[in-house]
Structure 1
Amino acid sequence: YLDDEFVAEYEQMKKYTSNIDDDHLSTHQVHYLYMRSFFPEIETSKKVQEITAYYTKQAQQYWTSRGLYAQGMLALTLHRMNDTNTANKIIRALEENSITNDELGMYWKSNTSSWFWYQAPIETQSLLIEAFSEIKPTDVETIDNLKIWLLKNKQTNQWSTTKATTEAVYALLLQGSDWLSVTDAVAVIIGGEKLKPSTLEDVKVEAGTGYFKTAWNGNEVAPKMGEVQITKKGNGIAWGALYWQYFEDLDQIT
């Protein structure tokens, strides 16, 4: 079915175009080429091969005018077609246009939601993790930075679709550092006393993530608890927060 649609769209384009060498690389064709790159062992008709060669040439020529999602797909597709030269050019361009910082990891300012179905930030970031993992598998630092952005996004946003969630989980487990194997919890010392979640009443440590939450009543809080020491062991990242809450009469608030 997809082969037939691939051919039909090409024939439709060819029928109405005035110059076949212009940019005719549609989003559908990019997705088709990406899909086909997973199944090189499945033979296609001679017609499909001819059209694939045409759109491959289009991809090599016009990838610079595509968005992040399409560029990631084209990089993977061309890499699997043994065109490592163009694939590496795309990856290099993606790196040059990215932003990296310690807090948010590596991301792209243009990776935002919009009207088109392929403008989806989570799916786009996940696909780009796949691209970097496959084309530059030894660049663990970059791959980890890309994964940090996904996790940081999850802190304040909901991965709104099952597609976004599965893409993100796949990308996080795909490559880079093995963060899931880290079992050492973050050591927290408050007011000179080590915090031991296992001994705290009504506190349950979440399996896998190590997340837990605890609180102290007002009569348990002492000034020395304002001094907090945190020690992180092993690889990977960790987030936490400490809130000092107090109450005041409304008429005393200015």
Structure 2
Amino acid sequence: MVKLSGVHVEQVDFSHADLSHFRWFESTIHDCVLDGANCTDWRLWASTVSDSLMTRSSFRGAAMGNSQGGRSSRWVSCVFDRTDLRGALFSHTSVVESSFLNAKLRGAFFERVAMSRVTFVGPMVRVTWDGRRLIDDPREGHLEHVDFSEATFTDTEMYGNRMTDCVLPPGVVEIPSGPAFLREARRAIEGEDTVASELLRSFFDQSLPMPGSESSSLVHNRNDYLDYGGEELADRMDELIALLRPPSDES
């Protein structure tokens, strides 16, 4: 394990280097190349990485950002194309003007992340985006101008995040004011005696205790409902969304 505190690293080529188990505290990495580098199990606290290439590197199981002294970690203008981020955790982190093209993201967890002008392309399997505030932490996730149009979602959950001008893949729908939708949808199916409604009641009852802020969004992927409960479940959820989702602001 290597621990680095308060260091500034600039214009260094780390291509194919073994940098596993590094610990970065209040440090900066700028204009560096980490192509094919082994960065597994990295940990960053209040650190910034900017204008750097992480193509084909491995950050498997890394903690890509933690706050320290009220300061969050930041990734700015970074390229994560074909990067291995399986099982990585982005917590209390901001990601700006970066790309994740065909990155390996299975099992990645984005917790209360602020993300702006970011592009994702390729499969996203079992990825979680949890933007919900905690009792002792008022920060929530905010996704702004994030382009998922060429990504594919499989068992990928997004809840508790504020979403602004994001583009989702085909078949995936944003539900603004998610907590209000959950309450109204739960009331709408009260008393319905179908397998689909029973499954939906179970889902809503699990989601309602910690739904996120009133301004946060849910994301619905019809394919996940098809896999879980078939056409009946997916169709009933689509009906509830058509009935209860707030109208779009678009003209």
TM-score, normalization by structure 2: 0.29
Name whichever structure is richer in strand by fraction.
2
Name whichever structure is richer in helix by fraction.
1
Q: Larger C-alpha radius of gyration, 1 or 2?
A: 1
TM-score, normalization by structure 1: 0.28
Q: Which protein has greater RCO, CA pairs closer than 8 Å, 6+ apart?
A: 1
